[in-house]
């Protein structure tokens, strides 16, 4: 790999670490500002914060009455996606449970990706809560699937594409260049050794 690219990747990783620390600090400020904490994995709002949120909730009837009719008419299409999402979830879970131990690939923690907590916000009405659960599940599941797929790709075929993908996954930059057969074998071996395993 080009030395300049390696330097840039190292800088990006350092900046990502810095950004992560700053975001965590920022999150503490946000928690204090909106008066909540997370205790033993549960979100706790203070009573005053709950009362303030309730005052800002749009009632269900008003919410439906003010909704764009096209939004209402397309909602069955959106909600029908739950069927392939649940199927994908099932297949990802089975695939990872069977194949990852055999390949000795570190398993992906589903709970790191599927975060469903917005329904605890009292300023959301029933429809908004349902929508937030659905989006948290769908987007989290797709992120979980991407991580499983990227670990699989690193194990089996760590080769970059001839054209650069728009938003490559986090391991992509470690793959061998398109057409570099020697590097491919080396990368594949590296990803399969216990110390470097994905």
Contact 45, 35 (CB under 8 A): yes
Rg (CA), the chain: 22
Do residues 88 and 151 share a domain?
A: yes
Looking at 56-177, list the stretches that DSSP marks H as alpha helix, in order from N- to C-terminal side. 60-65, 69-80, 82-103, 126-156
> Looking at residue 120, what is its pLDDT?
87
Cβ contact 38:53 at 8 Å: no
DSSP 176: B
pLDDT mean for each 10 residues of the chain (198 residues): 80 88 86 84 84 87 90 94 98 97 94 92 93 96 97 93 90 88 87 69
Same domain, 100 and 166: no
Residues 162 and 189 in one domain: yes
Domain hosting residue 183, numbered range: 158-198
Q: Is 149 found in the same domain as 88? A: yes
Summarize pLDDT for 164-179 with one digit per residue, the tens. Answer: 899 888 888 889 889 9
* N- to C-terminal Cα separation, the chain: 19
Domain count, the chain: 2
Residues 68 and 148 in one domain: yes
Note whether 120 and 177 are same-domain residues: no
The pLDDT tens digits of the residues spanning 83-103 come to 999 999 999 999 999 999 999
């Amino acid at each position: 790999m080009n030395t300049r690219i390696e330097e840039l990747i190292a800088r990006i990783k350092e900046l990502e670490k810095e950004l992560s620390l700053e975001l965590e600090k920022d999150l503490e400020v946000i928690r204090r500002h909106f008066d909540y904490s997370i205790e033993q994995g549960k979100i706790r709002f203070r009573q005053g914060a709950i009362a303030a949120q309730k005052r800002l909730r749009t009632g269900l009837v008003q919410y439906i009455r003010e909704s764009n009719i096209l939004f209402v008419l397309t909602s069955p299409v959106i909600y029908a996606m739950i069927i392939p999402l649940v199927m994908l979830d099932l297949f990802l879970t089975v695939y990872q449970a069977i194949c990852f131990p055999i390949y000795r690939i570190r398993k992906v923690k589903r709970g790191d990706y599927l975060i469903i907590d917005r329904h605890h916000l009292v300023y959301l009405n029933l429809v908004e809560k349902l929508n937030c659960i659905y989006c948290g599940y769908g987007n989290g599941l797709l992120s979980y699937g991407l991580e499983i797929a990227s670990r699989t790709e690193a194990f089996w075929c760590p080769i970059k594409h001839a054209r650069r993908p728009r938003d490559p996954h986090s391991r992509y930059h470690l793959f061998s260049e398109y057409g570099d057969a020697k590097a491919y074998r080396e990368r594949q071996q590296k990803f399969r050794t216990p110390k470097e395993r994905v």
